[in-house]
A and B are shown apart, each in its own frame.
Chain A
Amino acid sequence: MNDSILPNWLHSEAFERVTQNIAIIDRDFRIVEANRNFAKTFGEWQGQYCYKIYKRRDTPCESCLAMKTFEDGKSRVKDETGYDQNGDFAYYVVRTEPIPAADGSIPYVIEFSDDITESQEIQRVYHVLFDRVPCYVQILDRNLRVVRANKKQRETFGECEGRHCHDVYKRKSTRCHPCPALLAFQDGQVHTAEHVGVATDGREILFVTTASPLSRGDNQITHVIEISMDVTAVRTLQSELQKANALEESLINNSTDGIVAFDEDGKIMIINPAAELILKCPVGEAVGGGILKDMFPQEFQEILDGRSADCHLEESCVIAKDQERIPVRFNGVALRNAGNSLGCAAFFQDLRPMKKLEEEKLEAERLAAVGETVAGLAHSVKNVLQALEGGMYALRSGLSQKNEERVLKGWGVIERNFDKVTSLVKDFLSFSKGRLPETQMVNPNELVMEVIALYKDVAHNAKVRLIADLEENLQSAPLDPSGIHTCLTNLLSNAIDATVLSEKGRGNVTIRTREKNGCLIFEVSDEGCGMDYDVKRKVFTSFFTTKGGGGTGLGLLTTRKIVQEHGGQIVLDSEIGQGTTFRIELPRHRLPSPTQKPSDS
């Protein structure tokens, strides 16, 4: 029984179980039998000609394998192209075998076909990939000779086949170290290395090579495929970026200005040594974002919060870790890249050295003024002494000559010069008194109004009209009220005198207050006689006076001294016959800090 199973199975089943497509055709090329696989691939075949089924032709093919096999009885193999049952192009391999009859004739031919469309397609893709991939691709044999290279490699390094890889890439006759291909041959693993090659046009090319072993089924590695990525551009960019970073870092680190940068969340990204020094944060010790709110000016908080884009503070302060207020020039800016916020940065210059210099300069100016004053005082006293000497001579000689006129004349000189010494000493005391101004926050306009009230009657009697031209909304400033008061009364009384001494003998005197470029300005202008060059030149020198015996020459000197103590300067503008303007300029940032609270006064 069992003996019949196998022939039966072969007869009835094998035909269908074979994975190939099978068709049997007669001498008219009509398909007389075919298996299920054939039908699956090519569709309904019953009663059809093979050329109709395979190729959709109406006549037999020119180079028909079956026809030849019918003729000579030999089996044949050939790659064919045709259409599947859906009309799609198909690749297949066909083998034809004769089915001979007993008489030796061949009535049928059996055709076995394999659909290789897919593998053909893979091969095509592989070819495209091999040539078009933007890398250098080569296949090496065990002698490290190039078996195949892709188009990009051939275009860059020239024809490669048969040459050693090191010759192709680097034009050298010895192997590279490390050689990823050799390593791949040795251990069957993928290896990577970076190399510098030379193109046919002499360009240096940086590339990263990955060598992968290729093996047949028996694990014997026969070839290695090397895929090399050109990283010249990347490396150039990398090195440029590195350079830019190094430059930026050294600029930031060597800046004498403090630089701190924050990310969007307010966390510190950069803090340079100068900033650590100014803020007194030891190197590397992180400053928490939380306490920054108290370290930087309010204007910067608004940038941190995204409410403002930048701030430039000529004079502000940061608060160091030990709570010291450090005066700084402060710039804050929001950092943006193509519209995206990157955080913000603070730049601040420590103003302490400058402040110190300014103080020293102020002190030097004060000392110079004191020196001038002492010299001037000596001069003035000598003149008074000389006059007294003369008075005494007149008195003495008048008495001995019984010349009453001479006695009276001498007595007059002595009296006048006695008064002069008295007022000189008074002025000098006020000049030398209290070198440091006692400042408090005061409204400059109020000071002016006080002085005007004081001089109302004097001015009225002198036929002078006092005009107050005050800037509205003037900010309070730390001033020594009695000092500025003295300055304004000195200038005002000078202006009234100048008006009285002018040809008209009457006119306006204007006191002005202004705020300009961070500078608080007081101006006193008269329409009086004006000054010539010589008087202008001497006006601030000690004990100079044009008022004869009426002045000590200390008024303007005292005024200048007080103005200097406030860090300011006094300038004068005068034309003969046109009047005179004295201008006190007090830069607010140079004003001393208040020594008293306003409530103390």
Chain B
Amino acid sequence: MTTEPKKILVIEDEEDVVNFLKMALEDAGYEVGTAYDGEEAWLRIRENKPDLITLDMIMPNKTGIGLYNELRHSPEYKDIPIIVVTGVDTTSYGQMSCKEFLEKRAVRQPEAYLVKPINAEELVKTVRGVLGE
């Protein structure tokens, strides 16, 4: 296969986690960009449109839900598949967990969920599944 590697943007605020995701995905042959918060995420998306996004739901500056909705409402980027990464499913969204919230409110459901802690094998398998590889 000589096709160009697929581009993945990892949006995550924990440095150790970012490093791990980047490393594991690069080892699987993907080109990985990273963003630590919502603002940086938009910069990266605009300069180099990714084929897939992993999005951590608890981040500074902009909540994961906010960024998720912006992406889904953006004509240009609404079709980028998103894997939602959650830590613990706390009651951060009223009485609902993040997953329940998305199921009730989101215009389109995420392509997949990953619940921390994630191991490399599971991560790569999920990404491949979403990208139809």
CA distance A406 to B17 in the complex (A): 15
List the A residue with the shortest CB-CB distance to B20. A390
Contact yes or no, B27 A386, CB < 8 A: no
* 8 Å CB contact of A387 from B14, B24, B91: B14
Q: Which residues of B contact A394 (CB under 8 A)?
A: 19-20, 23
Contact yes or no, B17 A383, CB < 8 A: yes
Contact yes or no, A386 B20, CB < 8 A: yes
* 8 Å CB contact of A413 from B19, B21, B88, B90: B19
- The B interface is mostly helix, strand or loop, or mixed, namely loop
Asked whether A336 is an interface residue with its Cβ less than 8 Å from the other chain, the reply is no
CA distance A379 to B61 in the complex (A): 19
Contact yes or no, B23 A389, CB < 8 A: no
CA distance A394 to B26 in the complex (A): 12
* 8 Å CB contact of A393 from B14, B90, B119: B119
Asked whether A513 is an interface residue with its Cβ less than 8 Å from the other chain, the reply is no
Q: How large is the interface on A (under 10, 10 to 19, 20 to 34, 35 or more residues)?
A: 20 to 34
Interface-centre pick from B61, B90, B117 (highest chain A CB count, 10 A): B117
CA distance A394 to B23 in the complex (A): 8
Asked whether A195 is an interface residue with its Cβ less than 8 Å from the other chain, the reply is no
Q: Which residues of A contact B24 (CB under 8 A)?
A: 390, 393
- Interface code A350-390, partner B: CB below 8 Å = 1, 0 otherwise? 00000000000000000000000001101100110111111
Q: How far is the CB of B50 from chain A (nearest CB, A)?
A: 21
Given A383-B116, A389-B117, A534-B61, CB of A375 within 8 Å of CB of B16: no
Given A378-B88, A382-B87, CB of A393 within 8 Å of CB of B116: no
Contact yes or no, B87 A391, CB < 8 A: no
Contact yes or no, A386 B14, CB < 8 A: yes
Q: How far is the CB of A499 from chain B (nearest CB, A)?
A: 22
Q: Which residues of B contact A376 (CB under 8 A)?
A: 90
List the B residue with the shortest CB-CB distance to A397. B27
Asked whether B120 is an interface residue with its Cβ less than 8 Å from the other chain, the reply is yes
Contact yes or no, A390 B61, CB < 8 A: no
Interface-centre pick from A375, A379, A413 (highest chain B CB count, 10 A): A379
Contact yes or no, B61 A397, CB < 8 A: no
Q: Which residues of B contact A382 (CB under 8 A)?
A: 87-88, 116-117
Q: Which residues of B contact A393 (CB under 8 A)?
A: 20, 23-24, 119-120
Asked whether B118 is an interface residue with its Cβ less than 8 Å from the other chain, the reply is yes
Q: Which residues of B contact A406 (CB under 8 A)?
A: 23
Contact yes or no, B117 A385, CB < 8 A: yes
Q: Which residues of A contact B21 (CB under 8 A)?
A: 390
CA distance A388 to B90 in the complex (A): 21
CA distance A379 to B86 in the complex (A): 9
Asked whether B60 is an interface residue with its Cβ less than 8 Å from the other chain, the reply is yes
Contact yes or no, B117 A413, CB < 8 A: no
- Interface code A410-437, partner B: CB below 8 Å = 1, 0 otherwise? 0001001100000000000000000000
Contact yes or no, B117 A375, CB < 8 A: no
CA distance A497 to B36 in the complex (A): 23
CA distance A44 to B16 in the complex (A): 148
Contact yes or no, A383 B20, CB < 8 A: no
* 8 Å CB contact of A389 from B15, B20, B90, B91: B20
Given A386-B116, A389-B118, CB of A379 within 8 Å of CB of B20: no
CA distance A277 to B57 in the complex (A): 58
Interface-centre pick from B15, B16, B91, B118 (highest chain A CB count, 10 A): B16
* 8 Å CB contact of A409 from B19, B90, B116: B19
Contact yes or no, A390 B16, CB < 8 A: yes
Contact yes or no, B17 A397, CB < 8 A: no
* 8 Å CB contact of A386 from B17, B58, B90: B17
Contact yes or no, A416 B23, CB < 8 A: no
Q: How far is the CB of A294 from chain B (nearest CB, A)?
A: 53
Sample of 25 A–B contacts (CB below 8 Å): A375-B88, A376-B90, A379-B88, A385-B116, A386-B16, A386-B17, A387-B16, A387-B17, A389-B20, A390-B16, A390-B19, A390-B20, A390-B21, A390-B23, A390-B24, A393-B20, A393-B24, A393-B120, A394-B19, A394-B23, A413-B16, A413-B19, A413-B20, A417-B16, A534-B60
Interface residues of B (CB under 8 A from A): 14-17, 19-21, 23-24, 27, 58, 60-61, 87-88, 90-91, 116-120
